[in-house]
Structure 1
Amino acid sequence: MTRVEDELAVEWEALADVASEPNSYSEYWFFRAALRHFRSGETVRLAMVRDETGCLAGILPLVSSAQYGRLPVANTSNWVHLQCYCGGPLIREGCEEGFWAALLDFLDHSKWADNMLTLRLIYANGPVRRGLDMAAKASGRALHVAQTYDRATLNSDADSEAYIAKTVRSKKRKEYRRQAKRLSELGAVRFERLALDQPVAEWCDQYLELEAAGWKGEGGTALGAAEASSKFFRQIMSEAHALGRVDFLRLMLDDRPIAMLVNLRSPPAVWSYKITYDESLARFSPGVLIELETIALVLGDPDISRADSCAKPDHPMINSIWGERQTIDHITISLKGPIRRSAYYLCRSVDQLGAFLRRKRNHDNE
């Protein structure tokens, strides 16, 4: 696949507004940019399910992979590229089980579909996952969780002051106040949010420059290190800003940004996308200071009820200031056919053996 027809784009955008589990990473504007800059020769197929009236009920990009972990076992997977941190499909509320049932049946009868369906970065406790479990059970399919972990989330009715007092240790709060005071001695410190009527290009320039000056720039992983990722970032920021789908934030010291953060928003949720800071000022923890300001922004937003950090499960900074956790699953589902079932059970056995060895190693290290 190389492009999306205009009519489907309109339907896709409308679907995002009625999805039972919103996901900025699965919206049309994000997918279009990824398809343009990150496809890398892959064949990306759009799985679409429509209801009896022809209305779009759900959509999920799929790719084929020749590997399952280290095993040379082909499988069909949701498309999760390097800039995608949440892999769930967009499904209209109430259509979750029907979407998965129709998709799995379609894959059963598709010659291009490989041995099994693998799904990465799926919320373990949401309506999308419940619909999948019901569809698998109803069709007698085997399903197993190949990997699971928790990552930090922000989900509270408290105001920011009460939340931080409850979540962040007293000693750490005192240290952050001291760092903020010391930083203010260097100049005027202020927190800014890009307004809808402000141009986004200058902020993109600042972000890319700030990130390139740090360890990501030295390691070649900064967004600006590759033309494709730089253009992708500029495109999604421009389109998300025009749609009101992004919170672009910066912490300023006099007239220069010392920390910048991007949250993608699809009410009632937001997803952390990128953060960077001036590493020459690391002793003042500008990255933590902008995150603390963001807590107030998220908890004070009447349209937002939860935020996903999209961080690694053991991330020391965000885990210390965000108190809730979201379980993330990587799931494998069998497709019908004797060869496919054999491949599925082989992969499941390897997953189970790997999980057993990890538990044993962790136990031995205790």
Structure 2
Amino acid sequence: MITQLVTPIRELRDIVPAWDALARQTLEPNVFYESWALMPALEELVPQDGQVAVLLVWADASHSLLTGLFPLAQERSYHKFPACHWMNWLHLHCPLGTPLLHRDYASETLAALFGWLRGYSGAMAFSFNKIPADGVFAKHLRGFTRSQGGLLNEHDTWERALLSGGSSGEEYLANHQRKKKLKEYSRLRRRLEDLGDLELEALLPGQGSNLTQWMADFLHMEQAGWKGRSQTAMACSHGERTFAENLIRNAAERGQLMMLKLLLDGEPIAIKLNLASATEGSYALKIAYDERFAAYSPGVLLELENIYSTLDDAHLGWMDSCAIPNHPMINHLWVGRRRMTNFHVSTHRILSKPLLHTMHLVKTAYHYYKGTQA
């Protein structure tokens, strides 16, 4: 295996065909690390002082087969302790950190990564953040670390909502929602219909008509709401807006875009942005609604339509909510859960294991103290 650290991001454009082939053969999917999604992020969202690079792992010196792709960031501290710390790179709009590993060369690719860490990085600690704890990559990482006698800390875990297929949208809601709650949703919908003509528009994977209008509606609605006031909307800065437009455009070109829109008298009152991976599953990235209609819960009504569209029309298998833990809305609608974790891995350096042990104890003591003060 041959490792190659790429820092001039433009050089990655030369390996896009190999990158796309890897995404189709990956051990575990991550749409946010596919070429069309990661390249716009690297071009627009890396801070000026950020030390971000992409580590490539090739099967041989001829670069005939790409077996691993790791977006990486370097910090000069680990939990505020001065130390060289490498981790997977996650930007503001990237809720998943699983690297791309070729499913036939997963162990060899992990060995190449940690060989690079040992020989070239100077890392005292390495972190994989926002990883599905029960996924195939997590299993391989645990096995590899154990075989190398390393220390793997994964005590930082949480859950987020997951929508799983296997039933129709109607069956899913009937099985997992109380009749009283479904009647409440129907009442909210009727109240909106009293105000005007209520309709749903869908842009499913493989479709791309009127894409410019879809992008404009989404970016405007997100910025007009609370995300705009808190400066977290995608249109709040030129770089993030450019990233969002390129992301949506690229997803549509690849047939991996799904957007839903609820309209009242032809004007959007809620809009949702989903992305489908190259292999299986999908990700609910963003949702926005017109706050003037908050009393009618248009976002919830659109999420109900999303269940129907995902299970009945798009046939995506599953959808990761990408939501924060204990999300007050989506956790009530989706009964499935995806357990997530942050992995912290020791390196070959003498003080690496003591550092990870000490930081874990400090963090545990801190949370215990905060719990006793609550």
TM-score by length of 2: 0.91
Within a 5 Å distance, the mapping from 1:85-100 to structure 2 comes to 85-100=95-110
Among 93, 96, 99, the alignment partner of 1:83 is 93
Among 1, 21, 31, the alignment partner of 1:24 is 31
The match for 1:156 is 165
The match for 2:73 is 63
Among 116, 129, 152, the alignment partner of 1:120 is 129
Partners of 1:28 and 1:329 in 2: CA distance: 24
* 8 Å contact from structure 1 (residues 66, 75) kept in 2: yes
The match for 1:215 is 226
SS in structure 1 of the partner of residue 81 of structure 2: coil
Within a 5 Å distance, the mapping from 1:296-311 to structure 2 comes to 296-301=308-313, 303-311=315-323
Among 124, 131, 156, the alignment partner of 1:147 is 156
**Residue 75 of structure 1 aligns to which amino acid in structure 2?**
H
Within a 5 Å distance, the mapping from 1:195-206 to structure 2 comes to 196-206=207-217
Among 250, 271, 277, the alignment partner of 1:239 is 250
* 8 Å contact from structure 1 (residues 101, 136) kept in 2: no
Partners of 2:111 and 2:247 in 1: CA distance: 32
Among 285, 290, 296, the alignment partner of 1:273 is 285
Deviation track 1:222-267 (CA, whole Å, cap 9, x = no partner) reads: 2111111111100111111111111011111121110000111014
| Count of matched residue pairs | 361
Among 189, 192, 201, the alignment partner of 2:201 is 192
Q: Percent of aligned pairs with the same residue?
A: 31
The match for 1:46 is 54
* 8 Å contact from structure 2 (residues 346, 356) kept in 1: no
* 8 Å contact from structure 1 (residues 98, 135) kept in 2: no
SS in structure 2 of the partner of residue 102 of structure 1: helix
* 8 Å contact from structure 1 (residues 277, 287) kept in 2: yes
Partners of 2:249 and 2:321 in 1: CA distance: 22
Partners of 2:165 and 2:340 in 1: CA distance: 19
SS in structure 1 of the partner of residue 104 of structure 2: coil
Offset of residue 355 of structure 1: 2.8
The match for 2:339 is 327
Offset of residue 69 of structure 1: 2.9
SS in structure 2 of the partner of residue 108 of structure 1: helix
* 8 Å contact from structure 2 (residues 203, 257) kept in 1: no
Structure 1 residues 325, 360: CA separation in 2 closer, same or farther (over 3 Å shift)? farther
Which stretch of structure 1 is more off in the superposition, 67-76 or 309-318?
Answer: 67-76
* 8 Å contact from structure 2 (residues 134, 339) kept in 1: yes
SS in structure 1 of the partner of residue 235 of structure 2: helix
Structure 1 residues 303, 3: CA separation in 2 closer, same or farther (over 3 Å shift)? farther
Gaps of 5+ in 2: 1-6
Partners of 2:82 and 2:181 in 1: CA distance: 47
* 8 Å contact from structure 1 (residues 96, 127) kept in 2: no
Offset of residue 40 of structure 1: 1.5
Partners of 1:21 and 1:344 in 2: CA distance: 28
Matched, 1:178 2:190: no
Structure 1 residues 302, 220: CA separation in 2 closer, same or farther (over 3 Å shift)? closer
Partners of 1:177 and 1:355 in 2: CA distance: 46
Offset of residue 14 of structure 1: 1.4
The match for 1:11 is 18
Offset of residue 62 of structure 1: 0.9
**Residue 348 of structure 1 aligns to which amino acid in structure 2?**
H
Gaps of 5+ in 1: none
Offset of residue 301 of structure 1: 4.6
Matched, 1:317 2:334: no
Partners of 1:298 and 1:71 in 2: CA distance: 45
The match for 1:288 is 300
SS in structure 2 of the partner of residue 29 of structure 1: helix
The match for 2:113 is 103
Deviation track 1:120-168 (CA, whole Å, cap 9, x = no partner) reads: 1111111111111121112111111151101100113121112112222
Partners of 2:319 and 2:259 in 1: CA distance: 15
**Residue 203 of structure 1 aligns to which amino acid in structure 2?**
W
**Residue 97 of structure 1 aligns to which amino acid in structure 2?**
S
Which stretch of structure 1 is more off in the superposition, 119-128 or 137-146?
Answer: 137-146
**Residue 280 of structure 1 aligns to which amino acid in structure 2?**
R
Partners of 1:157 and 1:363 in 2: CA distance: 43
* 8 Å contact from structure 2 (residues 18, 66) kept in 1: yes
Partners of 1:303 and 1:60 in 2: CA distance: 29
Structure 1 residues 324, 62: CA separation in 2 closer, same or farther (over 3 Å shift)? same
**Residue 191 of structure 1 aligns to which amino acid in structure 2?**
L
Partners of 1:295 and 1:116 in 2: CA distance: 41
Partners of 1:351 and 1:76 in 2: CA distance: 17
SS in structure 2 of the partner of residue 66 of structure 1: strand
Detail structure 1 runs of 4+ shifted over 4 Å in the superposition: 359-365
Partners of 2:79 and 2:181 in 1: CA distance: 40
Which stretch of structure 1 is more off in the superposition, 38-47 or 9-18?
Answer: 38-47
Deviation track 1:252-288 (CA, whole Å, cap 9, x = no partner) reads: 1121110000111014210111110011101111001
Structure 1 residues 353, 274: CA separation in 2 closer, same or farther (over 3 Å shift)? same
Partners of 1:364 and 1:222 in 2: CA distance: 34
